[in-house]
Amino acid sequence: MDWSGLTVGVTGGAGFIGSHLVDSLVDCGATVVVLDNFSSGKADQVPSSVRLVSGSVVDTTARSEALSGCDAIFHIAAIASVVACEEDPEKSASVNRDASLAILAEASCPVVFASSAAIYGNPQQLPVSESHPIEPLSHYGADKAAADAAIRSLGDSAPPAVAMRFFNVYGPRQDPSSPYSGVLSIFTTRAVTGEPVTIFGDGLQTRDFIHVTDVVDALVLSAESLLVEGTMSPLHSRAFNVCTGRPVTLLDVVSAIESNTGKMMQVTHEPTRAGDIRDSEGDPSALKEVLAWNPQVELEQGLADLLNAL
């Protein structure tokens, strides 16, 4: 789809996922406005052609400046750290829940919301489909679940909206210096520097890692469906897993990195942390059915991208 002539708002557009999305939208011809307070994002990750509004999603004035008049909104901004949300649940609720609900209420255009697999809690069966019970274990998961539920309750009189439930997203620009960053970003950085990595548990726990470019493709295609079909889109007022359905163990990750670098990694094991989910595997079939989307980046190639970006 040619996005020329469309103005698109992206909250969190200076961050890891958001900045990749912004790059894609600019390439599609869209006029992009980014709202970011740079708590984790970086201004130099935003193209110079993009209008950048510095502010928080909880600020009604900043939201209005960035999002009013947009033809579509991608709401990516969040406090993405489960630990930080547990330490300050009021801030988590303000940013992850209340601001998300406010954006939905204020929007007069299609909204694509970055939800999370954290809303499912401990998997009761694998793979996890969208019909899995919503039983979040954290404030982060509960706040994401509230906005996710609000989208699924929308009727045909509301602007079209969809919730995209991200699993373990990885790729370039994921900050490895943050204790909350994805394990792949941390592992690849330490492989290059020769530092040891710590695995909590036996390393046989599984994760459904999906490359950021596949996530961006899903986001853009979902917005196109909402823009073209409106509330008649098969995505409207629904939620979809964004995952590969191909789980790997952490020991598989170590082996893949060693294969890419030609170096053995120093791996230490610590006891399993309380609250860690043992296995995670999503079912992406619903999203594949309604969109011409299929994750393309295999783990080996994705890790090579990460290593090349360092």
Q: What is the CATH number of the domain that holds 230?
A: 3.40.50.720
Tell me the pLDDT band of 46, cut-offs 50, 70 and 90. very high
d(CA 198, CA 120): 26
The residue annotated as part of the active site, out of 120, 140, 170, 180, is 140
Full residue range of the structural domain in which residue 134 is found: 7-170+210-245+282-296
Give percent above pLDDT 90 in the chain: 93
To the nearest 5 percent, what fractions of the chain are helix, strand and coil?
40, 20, 40
Classify residue 231: in a domain, yes or no: yes
Tell me the pLDDT band of 271, cut-offs 50, 70 and 90. very high
pLDDT tens per residue across span 209-261: 999 999 999 999 999 999 999 999 999 999 999 999 999 999 999 999 999 99
Overall number of domains in the chain: 1
pLDDT of residue 276: 82
Classify residue 58: in a domain, yes or no: yes
DSSP per position, 93-146: IIIIIIHHHHHHHH-SS-EEEEEEGGGG-S-SSSSB-TTS----SSHHHHHHHH
Does pLDDT of 180 surpass 80? no
pLDDT of residue 175: 86
Is the pTM value of this prediction over 0.85?
Answer: yes
CA distances 163 to 154, 193, 199, Å, are: 11, 38, 32
pLDDT of residue 201: 94
Please answer whether residues 304 and 229 qualify as being in contact, where contact means their C-beta atoms are separated by less than 8 angstroms: no
3-state DSSP assignment of residue 148:
helix
The torsion of the CA quartet 287, 288, 293, 296, rounded to 10 degrees, works out to 110
Q: Please count the other Cβ atoms lying within 10 Å of the Cβ belonging to residue 142.
A: 21
Question: Taking each helix axis from N to C terminus, what angle separates 183-193 and 250-261, rounded to the nearest 10 degrees?
Answer: 40
3-state secondary structure 224-265: HHHHHHHHHCCCCCEEEEECCCCCEEHHHHHHHHHHHHCCCC
Classify residue 24: in a domain, yes or no: yes
Q: Which residues are CB-neighbours of 4 under 8 A, at least 6 positions away?
A: 29, 30
Classify residue 302: in a domain, yes or no: no
Classify residue 85: in a domain, yes or no: yes
Q: Please count the other Cβ atoms lying within 10 Å of the Cβ belonging to residue 282.
A: 29
Classify residue 89: in a domain, yes or no: yes
Classify residue 203: in a domain, yes or no: no
Classify residue 45: in a domain, yes or no: yes
φ and ψ of 286, to 5 deg:
-65, -45
Q: Which residue has the tokens 């649940």?
A: 89
Active site residue 140: yes
d(CA 304, CA 260): 6
